[in-house]
Structure 1
Amino acid sequence: MSPGTSAKLGAVSTVVRRVLLLGLPAVLFALITWQVVTHGPLLGLDARLSRALVRPDRFSELLSDLGDIQVAVPVLALALACVLWRGRAAGRHRWWLPPLAAAVLMVLVPAIVVPLKDWTARPGTAAVPPGTGYFPSGHTATAAVAYGSATLLLLPWLRTAAARRILAGGCAVLVLGASYGLVRRGYHWPLDVVASWCLCTVLLATLSLVSGPGLSRSRRRSSSGTPSSSSGPSSPTTSSGRAARARSRGSRTSRSSSSSSGSPGPW
């Protein structure tokens, strides 16, 4: 396969991934929102599923607390501080951009969710007091963006694939745990949670596109860009010194010196 063909296939693959991460969740979110606003038939299935799942208990309430601002946002703040410190110390190119983008995204969550709640005015389940404003789930959105952003920020700093899998798995467990707790406790309908998943998938995919270049390039020049003394041309003084040492030490020492001069220098 020619390099040009490989580049074209790579570009097509990138476009497909972006469509799947941005377009598909956005379409699903729009469809769910349309069903909620128009009281479509999907709400009947949602109500039946909620009745089958709702079993309020202490454990489900504790799980739902994973989506509280007081719990999720401090986790993101720790990740922001860690990445800011590591990025600046390593001299990363635009080291401040990924943490800044993640912080802005977290601030945008209530700015997006609250107007949607007011507009849709969806009532809650039988397990909560009468009221409206339950769609989409703000706790789910808080958990998904906080834990998801922290994961995206920390992944490039992990050296092993196992550590990256553990981090991604931990993020999934936290988000799914909060989502399950919200539905099980009756704080939200299942569609409220699914809609927040779709919305946050779009937000996190946007974060990865915006901050991705800042995660991969270094501001500092690599040592490979600087000619090494062992590989570059020798100065006349060095050459004459080597010749004098070779003549005085004999053939055995000359062979040893030649062998050591051919080894790669430090990077």
Structure 2
Amino acid sequence: MSLAVLLAAVSWQVAVDGPLLGLDTAVRDGVREARGAIGSTLLNHLGVALSDLGGGAVAVPVLLGCAGLAARLARRGGRPRWWVPVPVAAVAAVLVPLLVVPAKIWFARPGPYGAPLAGDQWGWYPSGHTATSSIAYGTAALLLARVLPVVAGRRLGTACALVCLGVGAGLVWSDFHWLLDVVASWCLSGLLLLGLRLLLPRLLPDHPDSAS
């Protein structure tokens, strides 16, 4: 519920150019000052590399590969509907552009550099790379957690969270997105992943008698 409220509040502020956007400006200016003071080329390259982990060319193959592995482990474990991870992953991959692209077009928010949008640009809000990484890696972690030991599943979830945080940090550090673009996509992704977490025990049950 809190994720939905935060997403609605941030979206409202972006739509009306509200005072909360001052936080974006303050963070952008603070990051630029820190980047200039540190002057680390390595750190700047790291920011770009972390951002790239949110691209579909990286995240979607990871998602599909993890789904295939989850299906294989489920079949080996005698799970009913062992094949479910693959279509779940496909739906998750398709949901990202279906949800993010219309929002980008509707909000039409300029990026951190402040230049007006060109005719072929969709806008920066919400962050597509953040949504792609969070939904893809989050779905992959949830699917594998259904077929791995509990401790391994928790560690995988922690690693996934760290990667997604890194993607968001890289986007903000590199001036690719405003902070609120990233926060909104985390909220949207969190809502979808919470729903998937509730559905997965029914979609991919442990025993045949729970598959009905």
Q: Indicate the residue corresponding to 2:39 in structure 1.
A: none
- Alpha-carbon contact 1:93-1:214 (below 8 Å) kept: no
Whole-angstrom CA distance in 2 between matches of 1:211 and 1:96: 13
1:174 aligns with 2:163: yes
Unaligned 5+ runs, structure 1: 1-22, 222-267
Q: Indicate the residue corresponding to 1:124 in structure 2.
A: 111
- Alpha-carbon contact 1:95-1:214 (below 8 Å) kept: no
Unaligned 5+ runs, structure 2: 37-43
1:155 aligns with 2:145: yes
1:37 aligns with 2:39: no
Give the direction of change, closer, same or farther, for the CA distance of 1:37–1:118 in structure 2 (3 Å limit): same
1:207 aligns with 2:196: yes
Q: 1:94-114 CA distances to partner (integer Å, 9 max, x unpaired)?
A: 223343223202211101100
Q: 1:84-130 CA distances to partner (integer Å, 9 max, x unpaired)?
A: 2222333312223343223202211101100000000100012x864
> Which structure would you say has the larger Rg?
1
TM superposition shift of 1:212: 2.1
TM-score normalised per structure 2? 0.86
Aligned ranges 1:209-228 → 2 under 5 Å? 209-219=198-208
Which secondary structure does the structure 2 equivalent of 1:67 belong to?
coil
AA of the residue aligned to 1:59: L
AA of the residue aligned to 1:194: V
TM-score normalised per structure 1? 0.69
Q: After the TM superposition, which segments of 4 or more aligned residues of structure 1 sit over 4 Å from their partners?
A: none
TM superposition shift of 1:24: 1.9
Q: 1:57-97 CA distances to partner (integer Å, 9 max, x unpaired)?
A: 22211111110111111111111111122223333122233
Q: 1:232-266 CA distances to partner (integer Å, 9 max, x unpaired)?
A: xxxxxxxxxxxxxxxxxxxxxxxxxxxxxxxxxxx
Aligned ranges 1:1-267 → 2 under 5 Å? 23-54=1-32, 55=35, 57-126=44-113, 130-131=116-117, 133-161=123-151, 163-219=152-208
- Alpha-carbon contact 2:134-2:186 (below 8 Å) kept: yes
RMSD: 2.0
Whole-angstrom CA distance in 2 between matches of 1:148 and 1:28: 20
Whole-angstrom CA distance in 2 between matches of 1:120 and 1:216: 40
